[in-house]
Amino acid sequence: MTNWRPDLGEHSGPRYLAIAEALAQDVAQGRLAPGDRLPTHRDLAWHLGVTVGTVTRAYGEAERRGLIAGEVGRGTFVREQLPSAPPAFQELGSENGLIDLSYNFPALESDHAVFGEELVGMAQDPQLNRHLGYLLGPGRASHRAAAADWLKHAGLDAPPEEVVVTCGAQHAMFLAAAALTRPGEVILTEALTYYGIKSIAEALERQLHGVALDDQGLVPDSLEAAIRSSGARVLYCIPTLQNPTTTVLPEARRRRVVEICRRHDVTIIEDDIYSFLLEEPVTPLSALAPERSFYATSLSKCVAPGLRIGFLRAPLAFHDRIATAVRASTLMPSGFMAELASRLIRSGKAKRAANAKRAEARARQKLAREILPTDHLVAHPGCFHAWLTLPRPWRHEDFTAEARRRGVMVGSARVFAVGRQPVPHAVRLCLHAATGRSQLKSGLETLARILRETPADAGAPALV
């Protein structure tokens, strides 16, 4: 146990916050190192002349910030400060020697030919200039019509006038959250969710409230309880190939979620970025309740993220608010890229690219099942990612740190956790992020070896 004694002299405000701030400062400045065990609540309270309850609140705040982790019988430890989301600015793939399985990227090895033919056609188009200027509004009519045709592949039949062209699905989600909520208001999400919505909530000053998940996805009874307790009127969710847990919400449960949202007047933001990976689409929530649903998708995963073209389908009553959010965020999506995306859709090349990625996803999932213990691997056979539950005594932060030390980056469950509920000991593996199947095989074999080992501190004595 470290003999940590915080200096509270330069920290004002409530004592519990001052202790948490001092702890954060000492971690940042290296006076506390990852793995250091902190004093017991009682010892620190005695030294500082505060109540045990004050120290308990301080440690709770520090744990909420991701600084420490506590376990019954072992004590409270300083966590390795892994990022809670990808760095704000980073040249991806720039870390030499690392196999990065932390980003959910699509494989792009053979996609260049798809674009070359259409780019040549655009260069020869005498009306190319009309796609190079400003275009305010929801998008050119021809682009929205192509988008509506694309949405039909996912089981959503929406008129083109309800579709807004966006700069990717992340932008579509941002527009929906901005149109539906105000600063300080609550957005419901799955208890483990895509970190992109966490970034949006932080930028827009919204609060997130987690809803329980099980092996089929969002739990309807938990959703209803969360609506009652939080007063939230917006739900963000990923019903199909949920990120990070890979679940596909069954149709009966989808209808139950819609019924609950109708009864409580809750609007749904549906992130349907992965539905193209299914052989047969499951009915989107937005098809079951179009009057209260915002549907976000893009061509990033199924064609190429560099297009930065997505689509937001929303009720017409909200389009003025969406237009305001578009002007405030990007002014407009690229007309040039929207034209390229539309040509890819109309020519059938986008569909062929999506089919190729589905086949590659199945091949990589098969490889993961061959290498990793299947009793700990939660995955859909067509998904880009897998959810690896960790055997005892591995904890998510220890496993993530050990994997990185051995040259493999994975996503700790903490990255996806919402609120202060217990974080499961699991990691997300992005199987398409690896450059080729041979690199993926090498990374998975490293992870399999780590799983067979015991963490270095597993035998640490319990505190009395």
Q: Class for domain 128-346, per CATH?
A: alpha beta
pLDDT exceeds cutoff 50 at 297: yes
CATH value of 15-78 in 1.10.10.10, 3.60.15.10, 3.40.50.620, 3.30.390.50: 1.10.10.10
Averaged pLDDT for residues 56-76:
78
Q: Which of 102-106, 111-115, 270-274, 309-313 has the lowest mean pLDDT?
A: 111-115
Residue 462: what pLDDT? 35
Whole-structure pTM value: 0.82
Report the C-alpha gap between 180 and 443 in whole angstroms.
42
| Tens of pLDDT, residues 46-61 | 989 999 889 988 888 8
Tens of pLDDT, residue by residue over 1-37, are 578 989 887 777 788 889 988 888 888 788 888 778 8
The residue ranges of every structural domain in the chain are: 15-78, 99-109+351-451, 128-346
Average pLDDT over the chain, rounded to whole?
Answer: 90
Q: Which pLDDT value is given to residue 407?
A: 94
342-392 tens-digit pLDDT: 999 999 999 999 999 999 999 999 999 999 999 999 999 999 999 999 999
Torsion of CA 258, 261, 264, 267, to 10 degrees: -140
Please give the backbone phi and psi of residue 387, each rounded to the nearest 5 degrees, phi first: -115, 115
Residue carrying structure tokens 């190079």: 132
Q: Is 312 within 8 Å of 151 (Cβ atoms)?
A: no
pLDDT digits (tens, 9 = 90+) for 160-210: 999 999 999 999 999 999 999 999 999 999 999 999 999 999 999 999 999
Quick check: 145 pLDDT over 70?
yes
pLDDT at 295 over 70: yes
Q: What is the pLDDT of residues 231-288, one digit of tens each?
A: 999 999 999 999 999 999 999 999 999 999 999 999 999 999 999 999 998 999 999 9
CATH superfamily of 99-109+351-451: Aspartate Aminotransferase, domain 1 (3.90.1150.10)
